Chain A
């Protein structure tokens, strides 16, 4: 008998951390104490997560629910404060609390000396609390609390430097765009709840019950397609997919560790997690699955194309995140739930490492430029170059993570990305077109990531002369998380080595209790292929990745004059992708400005001129009449007496002569 009675402690610790730092942080003042409280809070959750993870490994029963209390109880709607602990949430807990702990540790050094240090740690803990609620919730409403909670924390942390207008704008944009997604999430939930309830008598928002009863909706039906598409709209908001990805690049206004934790490793994967959580529902809607796969592939290549032409180190990583999330959606869209979750995990490792590495670079650049008294942009790669000599640890860890994201064999990203590519072409829900797009995107990824590496760490040192001597490696509190994440970026993939490569794919077996039944019921799986075909696919992926890397080596290392020439000869195309295909401008013209104009019209035109115009007009009319009637109200008693007499005469006359 295995017990998971203290599951509730996992979200509770960071909540307490957030409250302590939020309420008392100003009095504590001491940065070390504040940072320690924040880090210990999430580290404690990590410890429990690890213990329970191993307990679950040895447990024959894989799905555990824990109900704390009733939350909302109104008629047929019964919602509990309840948690669900199964292989999927167990794995997510490890990722969130593990990567989260490292990033808290890193932040102690990175945020040193920032105003509102306590505020930062309070928000970061609050984020972890929300993310853990999202992951652990046993029903859609508790998940939604986490879902919106992480949105709130994202808002607060993007707007951390709130005195900058760009930060305030980005924060607001992130929340509002996510709300568009929430619109879908809510309607999907209503439709699901109402359909299952009224037509089949199952009134529930509980995930286990949804999974068990989803089949009642009828596979392939219009309703289930509508439900899943609405939920997917929610996912495109949170996970920055077309058409709602535009907030994520702007979100880079937040401190860099925030970008690593929230906008790369954890929160943005919530959409993938949500679909994986409701796999039984999505599997019944093949049309939705196809839409998800296409949107995922399209987002992947689209974002990668923008990543080619950005010069801000964090922006490149931001578009890369959007692109990699596209890979995850492609995976779940073709029924490769395990591969999607696998890539979610490896991506959390290498992308967190990349973002934290970029933070280390920015930190050093900022410091050096500051001491040199110049106002160059510390995030612009055109001011960098040759940093590997000054920052060896950052350089090595960054390089390792780049090899992982590029899909170089034996690094973690290779296994997860390869599995997605494999399913894209070979699964029952796959298509060679999807595979081709994904493969090409993998090549682009390798190219733009090595472009970034070369522009940052190799070649000439392009920063101002005075700044060079101030460049130095970051302190241990920053480099230790980098090293740990780099190690994970290498070995994190070994839990999912496929049988083809003489592995056992432990991850697939571990997640089988979550996905197995769905895959079997709806016939989702790999079509039979010969080993030669499969090895051919692997070879194609490796060749494409290598080509991307070699092209970057050629253009940005051997012939640094070349990129300028290429840009010069493709001016129009370059400007279009550099300006992100003008999507923000298009959205402004299509949605933002018309809404504002409508608001102004309704206010000044309809409210003030229209309704009040009528009301005031009536008032004027009454005044006009009363002006005429006032003549009769002379105030002279004999006039009134005369009127009364006349009136009586009329009445009497009426009765006499009728």
Chain B
């Protein structure tokens, strides 16, 4: 069974989707319940990955499967080649962990065409998992594109007032990026064949071996990086995000924030950086600059929002800026921080979107000015909201701190020292925009009569938040189980990207790292 664990995990949602089609359309709760069960089963299928200690010692791919798929003469072959290492491991688990929570959040939120929504959600899960396990660049591309469609419809059909604009904007931004990536993928493939390498499909492990001249790397890297930067999103190609988030239904926002954005950061780690190490080094100052601008810019814009959901959306721009800064530090601390911050962002921002959803379901508005003084009416909600707020601010003891601290420390130890100094101001700004929002929503007198009868969280809503709260504190207090299993893979990545230049390129801080000498 472990031989095909990844395939089982990835395609189980599709099986569920097919079964779903036979359920009666009118029975919304049955459909939701069925989908929930499917996603929970997927989570349990993926769970053995979390307990496998092989990731602590081995950097390579595990649970690999290889099936020749399409072969058109000698010019085009692609294979179904999948596997998991210490990097994708955590994003896979994050996906299977978040999906049941997202589904459970729809209970009262989605009542229009439930069957369609759930079918799309399951299709989306397959696409996301597929992208994370792909070891064939073309296979990755297929899953990458497949993700776009369900999310497009989720926003466009189940979204808010301005949903069509948001959906189209989301689609166009991402599609433009993907097209550039497609061109680059094909170019790399033919370049490899022309240089006499016997490519069996678009295998990334084989691509890693191809020595591409620096001038060519530049263009290919830019194509990949542009595509991934849109997805992250990095400043200045982030403007699709606030609209998409604001208009998407709660479950869509949660999935978008928690998982889809990680496709961009994952793309850098898995493809853009190890495939084009020279170009990576060349563009790091520029990309780090964009990351730091993103941190500060996202925070400043978030501060002035009067829609809670938009505020959280812009805070994502800031948080993902931190992730990218850590990644570009190109040392173990920065990368580990970036990785853990990807998980953190999934948990915390996912939770914040759920929280906004709770408010929206009760009051059908997300305008901050409509609230105020809710803490008295909804004490449990107030407490959970507060914890998530401080997790987002990065209070020590919560997950956010571990990520931000390592990112900033890693960046400080790398050539990006001054970038780290400016990025650290983000720590102040995060407190400003989050606490100001919390104060306006929860503190003060309850003046708006519409808020008089607000009910505190239901059992279902507490159940949604409980697992997220657990991870807020787990990662905050004892993150080592996570780090242990990502370290070998990250060290290998560092070796690929930094190569032999390491001693010359980076600060002495790096020399101490094992395997890098």
Contact = CB atoms under 8 A, between A and B. Distances in A.
Interface of A: 26, 69-77, 141, 144-145, 147-149, 152, 155, 159, 162-165, 167-169, 171-172, 175-176, 179-180, 182-183, 186-187, 190-191, 193-194, 197-199, 201, 203, 595-596, 598-600, 602-603, 607, 611-612, 615, 619
A70 B480 contact: yes
Interface stretch (B46-54, B132-140, B247-255, B390-398): B390-398
Interface in B477-517: 477-480, 483-484, 487, 507-509, 512-513
Contacts of A162: 375, 442-444
A576 B173 CA distance: 56
A365 to B, nearest CB: 24
Given A69-B478, A619-B172, 7 more contacts: A149-B397, A167-B443, A183-B428, A190-B413, A599-B300, A607-B239, A611-B239
Contact of B413 (A163, A198, A619): A198
A501 B239 CA distance: 72
B220 interface: no
Interface in B368-420: 373, 375-376, 379, 390, 395-397, 401-402, 405-406, 408-409, 412-413, 420
Given A199-B508, A598-B300, A72 B402 contact: yes
A603 B304 contact: yes
Given A162-B375, A165-B444, A186-B424, A602 B402 contact: no
B306 to A, nearest CB: 10
A187 to B, nearest CB: 6
A163 B376 contact: yes
A71 to B, nearest CB: 7
Contact of A600 (B237, B304, B401, B513): B304
Nearest to A22: B383
A171 to B, nearest CB: 8
A70 B477 CA distance: 10
Given A168-B439, A183-B427, A187-B424, A72 B483 contact: yes
B412 A190 contact: yes
Interface stretch (B67-75, B89-97, B107-115, B429-437): B429-437
Nearest to B440: A168
B64 interface: no
A190 B409 CA distance: 6
Interface in B275-323: 297, 300-301, 303-305
24 contacts: A72-B405, A73-B480, A73-B483, A74-B483, A75-B332, A75-B336, A75-B487, A77-B409, A149-B397, A159-B439, A162-B443, A168-B439, A172-B439, A175-B431, A176-B435, A179-B428, A186-B424, A190-B408, A194-B509, A599-B303, A600-B304, A603-B304, A611-B236, A619-B172
Q: How large is the interface on B (under 10, 10 to 19, 20 to 34, 35 or more residues)?
A: 35 or more
Nearest to B336: A74
B320 to A, nearest CB: 16
Among A72, A163, A175, A598, find the residue whose CB has the most chain B CB atoms closer than 10 A.
A72
Contact of B396 (A145, A155, A600): A145
Contact of A72 (B242, B301, B480): B480
A163 B373 contact: yes
Nearest to A73: B480
A79 to B, nearest CB: 9
Contacts of A141: 396, 405
Given A72-B480, A168-B443, A602-B301, A144 B427 contact: no
A492 B228 CA distance: 64
B483 A163 contact: no
A203 B512 contact: yes
Interface in B457-478: 477-478
B512 A152 contact: no
Nearest to B340: A74
B303 A596 contact: yes
Given A183-B424, A599-B303, A168 B444 contact: yes
B412 A615 contact: no
Contacts of B376: 163
Contacts of B513: 75-76
A423 to B, nearest CB: 34
Nearest to A115: B376
B425 interface: yes
Given A75-B513, A187-B424, A176 B431 contact: yes
B445 interface: yes
A423 B373 CA distance: 51
Contact of B507 (A198, A599, A603): A198
Nearest to A159: B443
A147 B397 CA distance: 11
A-B pairs, top 4 by smallest CB distance, nearest first, are A168-B443, A75-B332, A599-B304, A599-B300
A658 B373 CA distance: 81
Contacts of A171: 435, 439, 443
A187 B236 CA distance: 27
Contacts of B331: 75
B408 A602 contact: no
A336 B336 CA distance: 42
Contacts of B509: 76, 194, 197-198
B421 interface: yes
Contacts of A74: 332-333, 336-337, 406, 483, 487
A69 to B, nearest CB: 8
Nearest to B386: A156
Given A194-B412, A595-B300, A615 B239 contact: yes
B415 to A, nearest CB: 12
Contact of B427 (A75, A186, A198): A186
Contacts of B401: 148
A193 B409 contact: yes
Contacts of A193: 409
A307 B397 CA distance: 37
B300 A187 contact: no
B477 A71 contact: yes
A367 B199 CA distance: 86
A175 B305 CA distance: 21
B508 A198 contact: yes
Interface string B222-243: 0000000000000011010010
Contacts of B337: 74
Contacts of B480: 70-73
Contacts of A175: 431, 435
A118 to B, nearest CB: 11
Contacts of A611: 236-237, 239
Given A72-B406, A203-B512, A176 B432 contact: yes
B402 A191 contact: no
A144 B396 contact: yes
Contacts of B305: 603
A244 to B, nearest CB: 12
Interface in B142-181: 169, 172-173
Interface in B322-337: 331-333, 336-337
Contact of B333 (A77, A168, A199, A619): A77
